[in-house]
Structure formats: structure tokens, C-alpha cells
Structure 1
Amino acid sequence: MCTTLDKCHRLGSTFGRQFRLSGLYLQKDTGETTHQKQCYCSLTATKELSILHRNRKGLLRLENKLPRCSLRQYSCIVPINLSQNGVNQRKILIQNTHPSICAKTRQVGVLSDPENKGKKQVGINFDTIGSWNNRISMPILIKESIQTGRLIPKIPLEKIGKASLLGRRNRNEDRYAIQQLSSEYLYFGIFDGHNGDVAAEYLQSRMCDSLSFWLSREPDQSVVLQQSFIDLNNSLARHLTSYWLDDEQFSTGSTATVCLLQHSTELTIGHVGDTRALLCRGGKAIALTQDHHPDDVEEKRRIESCGGVITPNSLGTPKVNGNLSMTRCIGNLPLKKYGVTEHPEIHRKKLDHGRDAFLALVSDGVSFVLSDQEVVDITCSCTDPQEAANRVTDQALQFGSEDNTTCVIIPLGAWGKYSTDTGTIRYSFGRTFVPLRDS
């Protein structure tokens, strides 16, 4: 029997070397000699194997410096009995019948990224130590990183992409807000007004103060968002009664999707209406909000229990009392008694900067013609968040959106990690026939 032991390149991500075993082994049951398939073992494993190899004079000898090999990686452990110089020896060889289980050693200094679908990255793979590998320079939050034992990036406000286009409307009723409330909290919001822009403008200017007020008194972010939405709805009602009572904008209202980010990891979202928050994790879209439309079973039940009626318009879109296409919003005072509430739906999410590439906030002018995954794919094809926000809003108009289009892209630790080679998604002629929808 002849077995060779070849040393391969040293890997930067392991504590030892990998070895390749090749040669012949003896089947235990049949006694036949068969070519052994290539297999790989690592010095970092837990058990030693007895290996024979040919020395320079062509004689078989037992290798004293035995590699340590992880047995669970191989499909077959073959014990054999050898007789050499009248001495019976029992040896063990390994057979890998599934070579794909153990990948061959890659080039020195080039590591594979298991979360990036097999793409190679030159240099250190920070994911192996619990951090991220980013394409945007981000400072590190030292205190939070020490407390958690993981590197936590600070989201730079100047890197956030934002774009809002008029579209085919007379005025832009969309608003967005980006602000740092304290060293601990960041605030992102998107608001889509209807029946005028008074409510959206009011929320854009007052939401920050309301959040800061409640954060100083309440440690629970869910309660902070709940109270802020209620307070702003009440103060907006007083504002409209005082200044817009005899105006058509007295019935104005607005959606609101508000994100509180604590220590760059704890994300809490308060949401009413049909604006959306999306998270890109592993290159896939994760919806963080649910549209409050009248065709939702629970929302419809609440409206009808308060005396409201769900009726479709001429385009078949269900509306509350034939007027409003959503069941939750801030404002719309005449419809409050019919179950249109300002109480937000709260969602919490812990961010993982090793897998999460960005957070996206979009208005219904975007989500009406683009799916969540399409927004993620377009953003992943861009080099920076500002380019991504511009491209998403432009693409929505190209696909036939009649509404204002607004997009905010907040880069996270894995920004650029799931980048694609494609530019904008393929144009679909059918999307030019998207039916008109009034707010």
C-alpha cells in the first residue's frame, strides 16, 4: 500500500494547515486495493489518524507527525490490517465519497464569504469575528462595541440617500425626516399626505420634538412612538380647527412610518397608512410594515364596528365611506368617529450589521408599481445610497406611477455586500397600464 501526504497552502482563517491524502487503500470486506479519492483534513480537528507514506528510498514507513482530522467531514472511515516485515499493523484511512463537502484550498489571502453567496473577498473577512465587511467607511461606536462584544458601526447621516419626485401630480405631498435625537437615538420618518400637504408638513416639523419629549420620560420605545402619534394627532386637530376650519384642507391627513434606531442595532418602527419600511438582509427584502388598507380583514372589521362603510370607487379600490383608501392615519378628522385611528402598529427588529445592507423607506407611489424585492434589487445595483434613492424613484415613474415618489435609503453594515451586476430592472410594457389611484 502507498499513501502520500501532501501539504497545501496555509489558510489565514484557520489555526493550521490543510492536508490532501491520495493513493490506495484496501477494502476491509473484499481485500481489493482501490484508488483513494482526494480528501482534505485540517490540523484544527480533534482526532489523529495513522498515515503511511513512501519515503525517498521507496519504503513504507509510519508517519510520526500525524495530522488531526475532523472525522465528521468524511463519509467513510476504513480500518485495514497491514503486514510489514512480519509485523501486523492496524491502520485507518479515510475515504471521501462526497468531495463537495470539503472544498479545496483557495488562494492565499483570499477568503470566501459564506453570506455573500460564495463570492471571494481579498483581505480579512470581518464576518468571522462577528462584524461586517462594508463598502462605506463607517466610524465605530466604541462604548456599544465594548458592551456587546461585537463591532457596532455608527450610521453617518451624510451617507443616507433621499429623493422625492413630483411625478404627475400638481404638488408634492410627500415629506421625509432624518435626524439624530441624541448620542443614543437616530430618527427616520416618511409621511405621505392626502387632501393637501398640511398634515404631512406638520408631522415633518413636529415629530422630532414629540419623540425627544417622550424619550426623556419613557424608556420603552414602543410607548414613545405610541404616545407621539396620539399627541401629534391631537395637536394637529387643534391646529386644523384654529387655522383651517373653513378650508378644504380641514380634512387633510397623512400616513406616517417612523423609525427609532437605538445604538445602531435596536430598531423600533411605528406605522400608520401605506408607506413602507423594508430591510435588506442577505440580499432579500424583509417587510417591516403592513399596509393599512380597507380590504384587510381586521381593519375592515374595526371600521364597520364603528359605523363606517367600505365601498369601492370607480376603479374598484376599496375606500372608507367612499373617501379614504386607508384605515389608519394621522388627521382626517371627519372620519375619526368611523374607526380611522391614529394608533400605530409597532414592530421591533434587531439589526445584524454582518447581514443587513440597508433600511429603505418608500411612499405608496413607489410600492404601487415596484415590489419590495424589486426595490432591494435596484438598490443593490447602486454604488451609494443617494444613487439608489434617485434610481428607485425614477424607476417608479418609468413603470407608470401617477403619484409622488419618495425613497429614503439608510445604509447599514453590509452595504454593497450583495451588489449585483445589473442596473435597473428590466422594463415591463404591461406596467404602463397601471390603473390610476387617487389617495
Structure 2
Amino acid sequence: MQQDEEEEARSFLRSFLEEFPAALEDGGPLPVSPLSRRVSQDELQGESLELGLRLLAARGAPAAVGALLCQAAFTQLLQDDLSPFHCPQEVTEGEEPVVLLESDPVQRLFLNKLIDVVKTWHHRLPKLPASPLPRCSVHAIKNTRRKMEDRHVMLSEFNQLFGKQDGVPRAFYAVFDGHGGVDAASFGAAHLHVALSRQETLQSDPDAAFRNAFKHTDDLFRGKAKRERLRSGSTAIAVLFQGQDLTVSWLGDSQALLVRGGLDVALMEPHKPEREDEKQRIEDLGGCVTFMGCWRVNGTYAVSRAIGDFDQKPYVSSEADCSTLRLQGDEDYLLLACDGFFDTVKPCEVPDLVLRALRRNPDPDGVGDAPAAGPPEVSVAQQLVAHAKAAGSSDNITVMLVFLKPLEQLLESHCATAPQDSQDALQQ
């Protein structure tokens, strides 16, 4: 690790201990709220890691440091006896009882483990892996909708978070577009990557690993939805970079798009009820696809595959589609977005939109030095979201870009080959 990165880690540890010099006291409020009041044993890892990463990110933890801290704290949590946190079991005839834990006390213990690890590292910082992270840009807005039901995950530190040491670099990114509430999207964002990390075929057959991870996540959410009487659903688009391979997996109409040499490369076909094979699948099961302002499954949902939506299973399927391709090394970036973006932006428009945005602000996160006069810098993702909204989108919009080559190189190569009218437009 470079000296400045090590100093950044030490500076964070010092400031964290200034805020949390001692263990959190019983009965007091937690510094960050758990996702759920009760969690099953299977849900504990996802909910704990989400809680820890959220706490650390809000306090400026370097991403790799945050992932390693959470992994170490959760490993210690599992060494404790958690039976004092068990809830009274509710037994339903014909069903196996599910052991549930009270979230507040068990997450207080997890956060105290996290504080202990920070104290240890503050005295003796372990050697941290040097792994150059891809430049990313993400922006999400509620838009004109009453609630924000999108969620997203950016996890360049997949291996660090799950303690994988096989030497294969991995990074995970996902966008979840909820409907009928945010519960399914929040659940998927907390648990899909955890389920994926546990798959034995993660390296040998990532497509199968993703399909199993989606099914497991949907099954877990079914239990939570039944316990808490939840009715929501969520589409999902998730990608895993693993060595030189890129695996894309999806449910519903959120999409991923690869750009190579300034040209869009199709990676997938979104699941929509009017898609001929989806319509046939639904009708073969005894359902129907009808037009009610848009095409809907059995007159209800406008998506044909999703996490949740259990009142319309199996017509709304939780079986994910997957595709894996070998990266050639000349890819520009990957874009993930929900249908709120793609409803008004065609995939073929994306390369020019991104190039224009980069010309306006070469820092994709929009955190570079602002000009001496004039408005502050706006990130690439913000500009794409604003374009989709101006083009007529009224839905929640989430856009995420993962850049796969240096931005200077991307700009130079594209400007050299761009048509003159595009270059003129970029200068405006």
C-alpha cells in the first residue's frame, strides 16, 4: 500500500475512535439503524455487513478498509453465543420453525466487535492489499414518484468483504428497482452478493452461481415477506468482474450495457411481459399478458421476472438469466441502470452522452476542483440522470458507470474518432 493510502487509513481509524472511544452501551440508540427488527440466521451476515459498511462509509472510511473491518468484525461475531438474542419461536403447523434474532442487541454486539477491531488496527495497522479500484460514478433520484424504491450496490472490494484469498480479483455491482414498496429492493441489495459469495461454483461456473444466488435471495425474502406481511417486488441487474471475465445476471427490465471503442455492446435482453418467449412462458403456466396502459402479467405487474411479487409467482419468475464474456482489455466502461433511465434513453445514445458528460467534467464523480466562477461540477452519472428526466422519465432513476480504462485515454481515443458534428457539440 502506498504511503498516502496508509496514512488515509490511519487518519480514519483515529477519527473513528474519537467518535467511538468505548463500546456502545446497552439500551442506548445505535449510531445507524438496522434494516430489520428481527433477522434469521441466514440473514444475519447480509444485514450486519450492510449496517457496518453504511456506518463506515458515512464516516469516510476507505472502501478496502471498510470491507476488511466488517469482515473481521463479523467473523468475531460468529464466535459468540448468539442464543441470548433469540426471539420466541412462532411455530406454524407443517412448517419448520425459523430461529430469529432481535436485530438491535445482536447488531450492537456486531458494532462493538467493529470498534474492537478498529482499536486493534489503530495500535498496529495490518498490511492492507493494494488493489487499484475502478473509477465509478453513480447517481439516483426519486424523480416525480412519491417514494424512492431503487437501491444499488458498488462493491469493488468483494474479496476483502468475504475473506477470499484465491488470488482472483473480483468486483460486484448491482441496481435494484423496487415496486410496491422498497423492501424487496433493500433486501436484494443486502443479500444477493452474500449469497453469491457462498456459491461453490463461483469461479468454475459463475452463471450457475448467480442463478442459485438469486433463487436463494428470493427464497429468503419469501420467509421475511410472510413473517412481516410484505408484498413488494424488485427487478435486479447485477454484474461480477472475476479475473478477465464479466458475468451479467438479471431479473426484469433493469439493464447493463458495455461500451467498447465508443460503441455499445449488447449484454442482455431485459425481461418484459410482451417479449414473445416471456409471454409464452406465462401462458404455458396458465397466466396471461394483457395491455393496461402497458403490458402486464395477469393485469398486475409490468415486469415478468423479479425478486418477490409472491402473489404472482410463478408467472413473475425469480429465475435469473445470465451471460459471461471474456474481457478483451479494450472496454471503455460498463453502465447499469433501471428502466427509469432506459425508458427514455436508447442504448445507442449512451456512448455520446457519456462522452459529452466527460468533456464537461473529466472527473466522473464530480468531486474535482470546481471552477473559480460558475456552478459546481456535476458528475457523469448526474448528467445522464438529468438527461433521462429531461427526455420525459418520471420514474425513479438510478445510473451507475464503472470505467474500465483511464479517462484520459478514453477521451483521447473517442475525440480522435468522433464525427465532426459530435466534436462540435462536445465543445458547446
TM-score, normalisation: structure 2:
0.58
Q: Is the 8 A contact 2:201 2:209 kept in 1?
A: no
- Equivalence for 1:189: 174
Q: CA–CA distance in 2 between the matches of 1:396 and 1:320?
A: 26
Pair 1:253 & 2:237 matched: no
1:251 aligned counterpart, secondary structure: coil
Give the structure with the larger helix fraction. Answer: 2
| Shift in alpha-carbon separation, 1:423–1:164, aligned structure 2, 3 A | farther
Pair 1:297 & 2:273 matched: no
Q: CA–CA distance in 2 between the matches of 1:360 and 1:281?
A: 12
- Residue number among 347, 350, 359 corresponding to 1:372 in the alignment: 347
Q: Is the 8 A contact 1:255 1:274 kept in 2?
A: yes
Question: Which one scores higher on RCO, CA 8 angstroms, separation ≥ 6?
Answer: 2
- Equivalence for 1:43: none
Q: Is the 8 A contact 1:378 1:423 kept in 2?
A: no
Q: Is the 8 A contact 2:201 2:208 kept in 1?
A: no
Pair 1:395 & 2:372 matched: no
Letter in 2 for 1:345: D
Higher radius of gyration, 1 or 2? 1
How far has the Cα of 1:216 moved from its partner?
A: 7.5
- Residue number among 215, 238, 262 corresponding to 1:283 in the alignment: 262
Q: CA–CA distance in 2 between the matches of 1:154 and 1:357?
A: 19
Q: Is the 8 A contact 1:215 1:221 kept in 2?
A: no
Q: How many residues align?
A: 263
Q: Is the 8 A contact 1:155 1:411 kept in 2?
A: no
Q: How does 1:85-164 map to 2 (within 5 A)?
A: 156-157=133-134, 159-164=135-140
How far has the Cα of 1:215 moved from its partner?
A: 4.9
Q: CA–CA distance in 1 between the matches of 2:337 and 2:179?
A: 16
Please list every run of 5 or more consecutive structure 2 residues that lacks an aligned counterpart in the other structure: 1-129, 160-167, 366-378
Please list every run of 5 or more consecutive structure 1 residues that lacks an aligned counterpart in the other structure: 1-152, 427-439
Identity of aligned residues (%): 26
Q: Is the 8 A contact 1:385 1:410 kept in 2?
A: no
Pair 1:331 & 2:312 matched: no
How far has the Cα of 1:208 moved from its partner?
A: 2.1
Pair 1:171 & 2:147 matched: yes
How far has the Cα of 1:289 moved from its partner?
A: 1.8
| Shift in alpha-carbon separation, 1:398–1:268, aligned structure 2, 3 A | same
- Equivalence for 1:312: 291
| Shift in alpha-carbon separation, 1:309–1:344, aligned structure 2, 3 A | same
Pair 1:225 & 2:225 matched: no
Q: CA–CA distance in 2 between the matches of 1:217 and 1:186?
A: 13
Q: Is the 8 A contact 1:155 1:412 kept in 2?
A: no
How far has the Cα of 1:188 moved from its partner?
A: 0.7
- Post-superposition Cα deviations, 1:13-47, rounded to whole Å, max 9, x if no partner, equal xxxxxxxxxxxxxxxxxxxxxxxxxxxxxxxxxxx
| Shift in alpha-carbon separation, 1:310–1:342, aligned structure 2, 3 A | same
- Residue number among 320, 323, 348 corresponding to 2:324 in the alignment: 348
Q: Is the 8 A contact 2:259 2:333 kept in 1?
A: yes
- Equivalence for 1:418: 414
TM-score, normalisation: structure 1:
0.57
| Shift in alpha-carbon separation, 1:397–1:424, aligned structure 2, 3 A | farther
Q: CA–CA distance in 2 between the matches of 1:197 and 1:270?
A: 21
Q: CA–CA distance in 2 between the matches of 1:392 and 1:260?
A: 23
| Shift in alpha-carbon separation, 1:413–1:301, aligned structure 2, 3 A | same
| Shift in alpha-carbon separation, 1:184–1:324, aligned structure 2, 3 A | same
How far has the Cα of 1:204 moved from its partner?
A: 0.7
